[in-house]
Structure formats: C-alpha cells, structure tokens
C-alpha cells in the first residue's frame, strides 16, 4: 500500500482496473476459484472485530492463523443471533468452500449451528461456549471454552492491593452463570487480600451498550469505588472512563492497557490461538477435532496482561505467587464455608470447587461481600 497521499488517484484507478478484471474473471468462473487446496476456515463474530473485547479476542487469534501456511481465513463481524447466522454459515460453506467453522457467539449454537450441522454433515462446526453434549449433538459439532474466572480472581488480588477506599466495582452484562462466576471470583480475589473489601456490581442488561456501561462506571466511581473491572462484550468505554476519572482498572477479554495506560493494573485475557492451533494441527494430521475442549490458565486458554504501573511490588508478587499455584492445576477459588450476600450457605464447609466443578455452571448467587442483586 503506498503511503504517499499523492499516489491516491493512481492507486484508485488501478483498483478500478483490477476490479474490472476481477469482475470479468469471476463472471466466468462462478467466483469460488481459490489457491490450490487451502483449508478454508470461517470465523463469525456477533460484534465488531475491533471491540477491544470478546470479538477482538477471537479476531486476534484469527489474524495469527492468517499467517499460517495452507490456511485461508474468512471472517464476518456483527452477525446477529438470528437466522442471519445460518445464512452466513451457509454462505461461507457454499461460496467460500469453508470446511471448518467457528461461530463464536453463545446464541449461535441452538438452533442455528445445529441446523446447519445437520444439513452439511461433512463440515466441521466448533462453537465457543461449552454447550455440546455427546448424547444430544452431532459429531461434526463441538464446543470449546476457557475458565477465565481464575483470571478474574487474579484481577481481584491486584485490585485488593491497589484500592484505598476498600471499595471496588464490577460492570456486568447479564446475571448469567458465566458472568456471576467472574464477579464472585473477582470479589474473592480482593477479599483474599483484605476481607473487608466490598465489591459493587451493576448489571447493564445488555452485552454491548456503551452508554449504559459509561453511566454505570461513572456512578460506581462517584460512590467511591477506586478499582473497576467488567464483563461486557466491549470493555472499551469502561477502561477509558476509569483512566479519565483517575481510578484503576483491571482488563477483561483482551489487553486494554492501550486504552488506560495509567489506570491498567492487569487483565484476564482469552488466548484462543491455543485452541485454534491445536484444532488445525489435528485436522492436518487427519485426526478428528475434539468435540469438547476446555482449559484455563494452565492449559494456555487464558492468560494475564502484563502489569501496569499502578500495581505495587507487593501486589505483583502476590498475583505471581497465586498464579504459580494455579498453573499446577486443580486450584479452587470457591472454598467452603462460603455464603451468598443474602446469608445462605452456597458452599458448605470442607468443600472446595475447582474451576472444572460442574456446580459452578449453574451459579445463581453473588457471594458475601458483593453489593448488588441479581433479582
């Protein structure tokens, strides 16, 4: 790409001519002509690829895969969880020749992906979210997901070392188990540093609604909270607001240090390339791609952002030490006796729930020390 602005008209004319040639060529060929036998992999995102969040985490991995030989990556962003995604999948199969599809949003699975998988049973579908069940779902489908709650626990430790007001905050999308695990983990991490720390949570009700997220962030800061994290699709506005208001922030989904250079402490990030690379390796070796894959920090599905300038030496050491424990596997964040914020015992004494515990997947409570309600 020429960077000299004067070359613009030249380039445009060339683009026009190329376009014309491409038109002539595709008109004759039907347009599916591809470089010999590249494996075509399709990625589908529910939001924009550059949302500094959930979708970007996948798109970053897709961008890395584009550089791998023998692969052709096709992507589509902002595809709603309606039949539109069925058409996108079908279009990728029919027009692009995709043989492996990654519909990455939770709501794509049922009924859209399952219907397409039944219709195209020689195509592989892997869904991000962990819904696949062996006795119910076809073998050309599957799911993968990561235990990112551990990362939020580490975020909580960093927040616990940083807060001066002993009040920290969480902006959450919807009160569903995945989100509640993150809120509880963050609160427990902070309480491991100082049991008096209170975590306030606000649910915006939507996966992506920047206006509400900014309002929630501002009102949480006005209430005296001085460290914030979140679980929404695009944390951009929350990080920027934290930076502008001079408090600290812990990231989620991807590294948001660029948005909040002073405020950023650390962050819980997805590392999807681990999953995608292993799927592609299996495919190339002719092995079946696993139908059900999960992992956390130890498996490299999740990683932590590098520390920002706001995190003290003691804080860094504490996070490092707990992380090292987690890397050994089997680390339990939820240890009994544990009460919810209404006083009910949710984990009895003597019981410890590791990240893999099935009980956690129906979490419907906020733990003691969390200020907020899911009703």
Partner 1 sequence: MSGASAVPATAAPAAASAPPTADRWYPLRRLAEALLAPLLALVAAAALFSVFLLFLGQSPLEFVELVWRGAFGSWFSIQNTVQRAAPLLLTALCVALPGQLGLVIIGGEAAVVLGGLMATVAALPLVNTGPWVVVPVMAIAGAAMGAFWIGISGWLRAKLNVNETIASLVLAYIGLALFNHFVEGVLRDPASLNKPSTYGIGEQNMLDLVPWLEIHPGLPVGILACVAAWILIYRTSLGFASRVTGGNLRAAMLQGLPVTRLILLACALGGACAGLAGAIQVAAEFGRANASLNAGYGYTGILIAFLARFNPLAILPMALLLGGLDAAGGLLQRRMDLPDATILVLQGMIFVMILASDTLYGRIRWFQPRGGA
- Please report, as ranges, the residues that interact with partner 1 according to CB under 8 A: 1, 8, 11-12, 15-16, 18-20, 22-23, 26-27, 31, 48-49, 74-84, 87-88, 90-92, 94-96, 106-107, 111, 129, 174-178, 205, 361-362, 375
In angstroms, the CA 181 to CA 130 distance is 15
Structure tokens at 118: 């039944």
Closest separation in Å from C-beta 217 to partner 1: 20
Nearer to partner 1, 102 or 331 (CB): 102
**∠ CA(148), CA(78), CA(16), 5° rounding?**
130
Structure tokens given for 5: 């602005």
Residue nearer to partner 1 on the CB measure, 60 or 75: 75
Q: Distance (Å, rounded) from C-alpha 319 to C-alpha 323? A: 6
Q: Identify the DSSP state of 203.
A: E
The full DSSP string for 183-200 is: HHHHHHHHHHH-TT-EEE
Helices 236-245 and 210-222, packing angle to 10 deg = 30
Q: Which two tokens stand for residue 259?
A: 């948005």
Smallest distance from the beta carbon of 323 to partner 1, in angstroms?
A: 26
Q: Which is nearer to partner 1, 134 or 287 (CB)?
A: 134
To partner 1, the closest distance from the beta carbon of 106 in angstroms equals 6
Query: From the CB of 262, what's the least distance to partner 1, in Å?
Result: 30
CA distance 360 to 355: 8
Nearer to partner 1, 80 or 337 (CB): 80
Q: In angstroms, what is the minimal distance from the CB of 75 to partner 1? A: 7
Q: Kindly tell me which of 257 and 374 has the beta carbon lying closer to partner 1.
A: 374
Rounded to a whole number of angstroms, the minimum distance from the CB of residue 276 to partner 1 is 18
Nearer to partner 1, 59 or 193 (CB): 59
Are 225 and 168 in contact by the 8 Å Cβ rule? The answer is: yes
């Amino acid at each position: 790409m020429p960077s000299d602005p004067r070359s613009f008209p030249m380039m445009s004319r060339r683009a026009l001519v190329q376009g014309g040639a491409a038109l002539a060529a595709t008109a004759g060929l039907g347009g599916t002509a591809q470089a010999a036998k590249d494996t075509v992999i399709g990625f589908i995102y529910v939001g924009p690829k550059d949302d500094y969040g959930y979708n970007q985490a996948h798109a970053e991995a897709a961008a890395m895969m584009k550089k791998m030989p023998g692969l052709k990556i096709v992507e589509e962003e902002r595809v709603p969880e309606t039949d539109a995604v069925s058409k996108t999948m079908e279009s990728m199969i029919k027009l692009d020749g995709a043989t492996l599809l990654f519909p990455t949003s939770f709501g794509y699975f049922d009924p859209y992906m399952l219907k397409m998988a039944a219709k195209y049973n020689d195509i592989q579908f892997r869904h991000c979210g962990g819904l696949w069940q062996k006795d119910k779902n076809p073998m050309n489908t599957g799911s993968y997901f990561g235990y990112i709650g551990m990362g939020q626990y580490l975020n909580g430790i960093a927040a616990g070392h940083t807060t001066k007001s002993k009040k920290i905050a969480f902006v959450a999308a919807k009160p569903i188990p995945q989100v509640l695990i993150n809120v509880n983990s963050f609160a427990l991490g902070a309480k491991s540093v100082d049991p008096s720390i209170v975590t306030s949570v606000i649910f915006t009700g939507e996966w992506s609604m920047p206006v509400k997220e900014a309002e929630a962030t501002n009102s949480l800061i006005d209430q005296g909270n001085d460290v914030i994290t979140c679980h929404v699709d695009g944390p951009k506005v929350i990080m920027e607001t934290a930076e502008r208001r001079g408090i600290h922030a812990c990231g989620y989904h991807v590294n948001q240090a660029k948005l909040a250079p002073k405020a950023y402490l650390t962050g819980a990030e997805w590392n999807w390339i681990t999953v995608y690379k292993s799927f592609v390796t299996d495919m190339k070796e002719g092995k079946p791609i696993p139908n059900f894959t999960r992992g956390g920090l130890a498996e490299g599905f999740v990683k932590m952002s590098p520390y920002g300038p706001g995190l003290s030496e003691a804080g860094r050491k504490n996070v490092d030490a707990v992380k090292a424990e987690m890397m050994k596997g089997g680390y339990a964040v939820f240890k009994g006796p544990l009460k919810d914020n209404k006083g009910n015992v949710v984990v009895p004494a003597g019981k410890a729930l590791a990240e893999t515990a099935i009980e956690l997947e129906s979490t419907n409570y906020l733990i003691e020390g969390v200020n907020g309600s899911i009703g």
